[in-house]
Structure 1
């Protein structure tokens, strides 16, 4: 009897992590479904400039990539895609806020289109990597592309469909979510790659990623975007 009880307890103990993992995946799926059913928030243009929002791994890398593109006035690091108010770097790194490191791209639509920004997005990352980019792993580094209206969503969906013709259905890892709110990150994160050129992460991850992007998209770079 004791032997049978021990065997049962052992089975339950081994099954517990799998059950927890299944529950976590179900919760994530429910959260994604809830977000997908939300009405997107459209950010009004200001002084002729529009805003777009992207998450693709470390925001230090993504900020530098977009700031090298002609027509982009500024790229701001922050957080988006989650369910908590006022996220911070510390809280988002726990993976419990639902937020991902993201950037707000302020751009002139007369110079660069939203469609081109989407091309930059997919062309500057590993589009099949789930929950991260390169060495940065976790839900806070997952890829999310945000849309503010139906026109933007059609552009995104068409781009993903074209990519998956070559890759196979379901291979593009990025979530496509209606934009809700962007939270600006702490001041020391802004222009981090530019202000901290000697940082080992910047030298070994950010700059190589930026150079790979610039090599692929030379025609859309600012004249002073030299690395």
Structure 2
């Protein structure tokens, strides 16, 4: 009986998420004109979604040229999303990060390499055990040059792996900062079982692949 209830719950959950992604408002988000974020004090901003934002925040914070990483929500059609609302899959948002970086030290192209190199690029709607549209992979572009970089790297990776790459490519519209307790979560909660068993191993795999990108 429990397994039947669980199966039915999953069917309903993913049905809601699929409807959210096919919502006309969500389609409008995908077709919108990208918004370009201006440099501030010589620093640029880039936006990525790739599973749990605790993991992604930690990875980018270790990359040379990155000053700060903020966890939040992006890619959806509702205003003021929260952790609870985004987890329903109905808002269209994915857990995302805002990467504040020095373009004189690290390029947007390298940040895209970090993105693809720190995840399972073929997993749809999630990373590892974190599953659902709120954990889907999205790369956000702010102009045509960024879009070209993303599409060329995505295409090259698909050819290399001979597989479909799951990451969606969205025009950047708005980043909603997540609740305070999500920020610097790994630093503040190093003994958390999820951090120990999922986040840290994911970072270590990335570090082993790209040691030259890691801060001293």
| Structure 1 unaligned blocks of 5 or more | 1-16
Q: How many residues align?
A: 205
- C-alpha separation in 2, matches of 1:135 and 1:24: 19
| Structure 2 unaligned blocks of 5 or more | 1-10
Partner of residue 181, structure 1: 174
| Alpha-carbon shift at residue 88 of structure 1 (Å) | 0.6
Q: Is 1:214 aligned to 2:207, yes or no?
A: yes
| Alpha-carbon shift at residue 90 of structure 1 (Å) | 0.8
Give the alignment's TM-score, normalised by structure 1. Answer: 0.85
Larger Rg: 1
Change (3 A) 1:31 1:217: farther
Partner of residue 8, structure 1: none
Is the Cα contact below 8 Å between 2:17 and 2:89 reproduced in 1? no
| Alpha-carbon shift at residue 32 of structure 1 (Å) | 5.5
Partner of residue 95, structure 1: 89
| Alpha-carbon shift at residue 164 of structure 1 (Å) | 1.1
Q: Is 1:192 aligned to 2:185, yes or no?
A: yes
Question: 1:39-50 to 2 correspondence within 5 Å?
Answer: 39-50=33-44
Q: CA RMSD in A?
A: 2.1
- C-alpha separation in 2, matches of 1:151 and 1:56: 22
Listed one character per residue, the Cα deviations across residues 1-36 of structure 1 (whole Å, up to 9, x for unaligned) are: xxxxxxxxxxxxxxxx8xx95994695275564223
Question: 1:89-128 to 2 correspondence within 5 Å?
Answer: 89-128=83-122
Matching residue within 152, 155, 164 for 2:149: 155
